[in-house]
Amino acid sequence: MSSAGSAPRPGTEAAARVADVLLLFASGPDALGVSEISRRLGLSKAVVHRILRSLASRGLVSHDAESRSYGLGPAAAALGARALAGLELRRVALPVLRRLQRETGETTTLSELVGTARVYLDQVPSLKEIKMTVEVGRPFPLHAGASSKAILAFAPPEVREHVLEGPLEALTPLTVTDRARLEVELGQIRESGTAVSCGERQSGAGSVAAPVIGVDGYAVGSISVCGPVDRFGEETVERMRPLVLEAARGISRVLRGEAVDGRRG
């Protein structure tokens, strides 16, 4: 390992550049050109081109000759699918999500904290004709929406402070972008154990969420019930709160080794 202040070894730096290029596709548009990647990462076009050519040869990215852009390839999709299948959180949560979907009739989701954002790991869609579905694997900010705020309220202090200090982007007209107001709401979420959103992250969407707590006492993710906002009136939300909270606590107990499965005690 390099000593503090020493320059990174060439191989380490090259690997970091490759990783940065791949991660750019995870949070950016579906397709990116050499010039755009070069600008975003501060790398020369020649370096970016070499990296993309190497990744393409292994199926990690694919090249569209007509648009002269690149997107994630089949090998990247296979890696992502394998990672999702092997995640303990997803394995433990899935039967609980299925039961919660039957209890509420709405789509249920599982999110994981990743850095200072969250990603959907899984979902069990509602059987109703009009329903909500989510994009698995895409990062979302932690300040908007019930799934995000359930995590943020119980996140490690350094993560919460980083999010609160950063720009609180308005994703919809109902997104809370005032830090003081958001801090008050996070306190209320910690008291009740659940978060509610009506159109804060996605217009027309309602959700009720609760955090999944890891062995260190902080949120590692959250679960939610979500659907069209007109089906999330006050009475429905209050009925869902204890169901979502109990489900999240059951998953948390399993992750902490306090239960042998996800069943309610």
- 216-233 pLDDT, tens digit each: 899 999 999 999 999 999
Specify the pLDDT at position 263.
44
- 3-24 pLDDT, tens digit each: 344 444 555 788 888 988 888 8
* Residues constituting the chain: 265
Specify the pLDDT at position 4.
40
Specify the pLDDT at position 65.
87
- 24-70 pLDDT, tens digit each: 887 667 788 999 999 989 999 999 999 999 999 988 889 988 888 99
